[in-house]
Every structure is written in C-alpha cells, then in structure tokens.
Structure 1
C-alpha cells in the first residue's frame, strides 16, 4: 500500500513540475518568435522571472523522492540514462545563467547571445523531458544488473522524438497562455495567436503520440485491467478542448488552469499506464524495476510520508501566495525596477 501511495506521489510531483516549470520552458522556447523588440523580450523574461527558480524546486523534489522512496530506480535511472539527464541538467543551468547574465553588460550583441542561449536551453529542456519520459513508457535496454545496453542515439527513436515534440508543443502552448495573462497590448495579441497555433500542434501531436503509444508500449493494457483509469484521458481531452473556448471568452486564468489540468492528466495517463513498473526493461521483463521491488523499507516510507504530508502543503501554500503576489501583468514601468530582468 505504501509503495502505491509513493508511486502516486512521485507521479504528482512530476506533474506539478510540468505544470509550473512548463510555462517557463515554453516561454523561453517562444522567445525569438514572439518578442521582436527589446521591451517585448524583457516582458517575456519578467513574466517568468519571479517564478522559474521556485518552480524548479518540484524537479528537485521529484528526484529526491526517487532517491529516498525508490533507491534502486534512482541508481539505475541516473546510471543508464546519465547522458540525457546530464544534457537536461546543462540545459537548465544555461537557462538559469541566461536570466542572470543577460543585463550584466549594456550591449545589444551581449543580450542577443544570451537570448539565443535562453531559447536553445529551454527548447532543449522541453524536448529532452519528452524523450526521457517516452522512453520510460516504452522501456529501455537494461539487464538484471541495471546495466544499460544502448547509447544516447538509441533514445532518439521515433517514439522518443514524438514525445519530445509533444512536450515541446504542450509547454509552448502553456507558456503562450501564461504570457497572455502577464502582458498587454500587441504582445498579448501575439501571445494569444501563438497559443492558438500551439493548441493545433498539441492536438495533432496528441493523436500521433497516442497512436504510437498503442504500438510501442503496453500502457493501454492497464486501462483494460483498470477501466476506471479512463477518467484520465477523458479529463485530458475535455481540458484541452476547453482551452481555445476560454481564451476566446477572455477567461485567461481559467484557460491556463485548463491547460494545467491537461498536463496533469497526461502525466498521470502515462505513468499510471505503466504502474507498478517504473523502469521497464526492453531486454528482460525480470529486470524491470517496479514500485514494489525497488522501494525503500516500510519504516522509511512511513517517515517520509509523514514529512510529505506536512511539508508539501506548506510549499504549495507558499507558491500560491507568490503567484498571487505577482499575478498582475508586467508593464513597461516594471522594467525600470532594479530587480527586473
């Protein structure tokens, strides 16, 4: 029972990370296409500026839970998938540096370099997250000793690439909706148009990804065994269909909430589809790591559950307060602040 609880909590932490850091990543990937002037670029940076580092806490939390609750999964995952995870780490590092270094020198050339670093690092992070999770759903070639019999290029299979493109489109849509909330005037109009284009891309790639999921994974088998799980894809589709309607009605926060619900349901759809598996071996089914054969001791899980039940709500309340505090649009006057990016 505790193993299942922690499996769900592990999924939830990843889902929250995708929702919160997803719009940061998506905004960065949209930067060169949506922001043409220096003022527009600074508004894009400051739309995510107060949030991006706090949002990454959920990535650390997901990694920490993997280490503490499922140490065997952590050990094999960070060994077998060392290369893509290291690339993801570098992408997030360069993303962080681009925020802080961009305005250190008053030079258009200097700022242009960091704008490209910001764009490429966010783009890479979006794609790498999609490739990573798509391969987790499909399975990777690991043996009973947790040794990975493959290479980085092997992860760039058709299903992995489809997952990367799907994640990129989802995060860009999520980020564009966020920018409609945080901007006004021409930039908001462009953000609204970008959200519509990205929505179409998400809808198309969702169909492609689901088709490939049927042929490349066993995810749908769990939905036949546990029909009640069908609520996840139904909610996901409903939330996605609501996004353009809400945007057209000017209900921007509700549209962002619908986009967030879509992301959460998609994350749970994939991960619950492989339950109880966590790291599937495509070489030997006996080498697959599950929530049960890789979990920590019962005492460890009990202590951690108590800590999580206290600390996670506190962090959520803090982030809710922070989002409420910085909920108003970014204006040109805000860019004059010494704290602005």
Structure 2
C-alpha cells in the first residue's frame, strides 16, 4: 500500500471520528427544540454536550488540515467547488460556538432563547449540509481536465444529495437522542427513549434508500458488507433503546455512523472526487496527493500526536460521564454563570 493510500484511509478515519462525535453533538442541538419543553430542560440538553462539543470539532480541523497537506488538489477543488455550502457550515459552526459560550452570560429569557434558537439551527443545517456534500463527492461533480470544478451551485442540489442530507440529519438526531437518554435522568430520559425509537425508524428508511442507491451506482462487495453492517447496527440500536439499554444503543448507533461513512469512502476509492465530465479527469489518490517526502513527514507527526489527542479526549469524556437532570440546574442563570452550564 502506497503512502497516499494510507493517508486516504487516515482521512477517512478522521471524518468517521468527526461524524461519530459531532453527530450526536448536532443531534442534541436539534433536540433542544424538539425535546426540551422549557428553559430548564433545554439547559439540561446543552449541558450533556457542554464539556465536549468543542473537542469534537478538533476532528474536523484535523481532517481538513490533513486533506490540505496530503491531497492539495482535492482540497483546492473541493473548497472552490463547494464554497457556498462549506461557508454556510463554517458560519453555523462559528455561531454555534458563540451560542454555547454567550447563552449564559445574561439572565434575560429573550437573550437565552435567541441563543438557544441559534444552537438549534446551527446544528440542523450542518447535519444536513454535510450529508449533501459527501453525497455529491461520491456521486461526482463537473471537474475539467485542469482539475477545476466547472459546475454551479444548483448542480449540487440534486435528488441524491438531498437524500444524503436528509439521511445524515435524521441519523445524527437519532444518535443525539440515544446520547441524551444515556446522559440524563427523569422525564427527559424517558421522552428521549421514545423519540429515539421514532427517529431510528425514520433513519432506517432513509438509510436503506440512500445506501441502496449508492450501492447500485458505485458499490462493490466491500460496500455491500458496510451496508449490511450499517443496517444491522441501526436495527440493533433501535431495539436496544426501546428496551431501555442506552449504552448498547449508543454503541450500535455509533457503529451505524461508522459503517455509513466507511461505505461512502469505500465507494469513493480510488477516487477522491470523481468527474462527471470524463473519467480520466477524476481526482484520485495518486494524481492529487503530495510528494512521498511530505507524506512521510506527516505520517511520523501523526504517529506521535494522535495517541495524545485520543487520550486527552477520552479523559474528558470520562470526567464528565455522570448523568444529569433538571434537579442539577439552578433556578435562574446569572451573568456570572460559567459557559456551557
């Protein structure tokens, strides 16, 4: 296996980690309006991800940075062709971070409600747009012989991409509902279980159609295995949450996200961005990668830094592992209240 193949796998792993962690993160953000009945319950939901949301986004920064360094042509074509959707995602992530930090700085209900709405919309839109983006990457876009994207914004809005966006949105919200049930006590926990069953059923329908379409269009034996794993894990997650086994359900919902992302990257390889204009103009792992020297240096750096990042993030989740409920929330927020509480 060549170094550019290794880095394709590593980038796939980084995106998988990002969607596994930020997936339930986005899901909880969406649930602040769907599940939280009042300010106190919405604060409970926000507190479940308060200590970890920013750490989850490190995976995105690392994935984008690794793409820039290992596959500069892929990075350039992707960011130029998908400029507006990615810009909207970036704006949402910035506003979402501000909402987490500033929501509790003032006690007024209007102030906190507006920031909570920002958390909702800035969780919903990226969850949808990431699915659209990756669906278009797998499907292929208009790339010419000069590795330039020649399509327009409307070319990215197609039935397959819209289905991909709907699938990731519902799947992430289901993942977030399972995480909420795992991290809370009382009425929120009970309602999160019930909502997770309904969301899981909807996610199963969307995933079967989207992944089946992908399999028919670009699939092989490896993607078929990933499809089977995704379907089995999703059904197991729904059954586990219906039985009140939140830990197993979260493990299975996470496995579903991993299998879905793996299927997309397996369907993509050896391309990184297929061209719909001519197969020879597609960006591949070989014609869009950096030099072997660059990839070698990156490999050594990744081998040294990755274990430290994993240990630190694992320690964070361990420290904040306890369940919370409305009884842990103070009556009124104050300007001195710490962020993300």
TM-score normalised to the size of structure 2? 0.94
CA distance in 1, matches of 2:186, 2:60: 34
SS at match of 1:128: helix
The match for 2:22 is: 21
Where does 1:278-317 land on structure 2 (aligned, <5 Å)? 278-317=272-311
CA distance in 2, matches of 1:228, 1:75: 29
CA separation of 1:87 and 1:106: change in aligned 2, threshold 3 A: same
1:18 deviation in Å? 0.1
The alignment status of 1:329 with 2:323, answered yes or no, reads yes
The alignment status of 1:66 with 2:59, answered yes or no, reads no
1:138 deviation in Å? 0.5
CA distance in 2, matches of 1:211, 1:276: 20
The match for 1:242 is: 236
The match for 1:11 is: 12
Where does 1:1-341 land on structure 2 (aligned, <5 Å)? 1-214=2-215, 217=217, 219-220=218-219, 223=220, 227-228=221-222, 230-332=224-326, 334-336=328-330, 338-339=337-338, 340-341=340-341
CA distance in 2, matches of 1:328, 1:150: 49
Moved over 4 A (4+): none
CA distance in 2, matches of 1:21, 1:290: 27
CA distance in 1, matches of 2:25, 2:223: 30
Are the aligned partners of 2:92 and 2:126 in contact in 1 as well (CA < 8 Å)?
yes
CA distance in 1, matches of 2:155, 2:112: 36
CA distance in 2, matches of 1:175, 1:237: 18
SS at match of 1:313: helix
1:191 deviation in Å? 0.7
Are the aligned partners of 2:135 and 2:160 in contact in 1 as well (CA < 8 Å)?
yes
CA distance in 2, matches of 1:228, 1:203: 20
Are the aligned partners of 2:103 and 2:112 in contact in 1 as well (CA < 8 Å)?
yes
Are the aligned partners of 1:131 and 1:163 in contact in 2 as well (CA < 8 Å)?
yes
CA distance in 2, matches of 1:147, 1:233: 32
CA distance in 2, matches of 1:228, 1:43: 41
How many equivalent pairs are there?
334
Deviations 1:6-61 (A, max 9, x none): 11111010000000011111111122110011110000111110011000000001
CA distance in 1, matches of 2:223, 2:248: 25
1:154 deviation in Å? 2.0
Deviations 1:284-339 (A, max 9, x none): 22221111111111111112112112211221111111111101112345434943
1:245 deviation in Å? 2.4
CA separation of 1:214 and 1:141: change in aligned 2, threshold 3 A: same
Unaligned runs of 5+ in 2: none
CA distance in 1, matches of 2:66, 2:305: 13
Unaligned runs of 5+ in 1: none
- Computed over aligned residues only, the root mean square deviation of the Cα atoms, in angstroms, reads 1.6
Worse-superposed segment, 102-111 or 195-204: 102-111
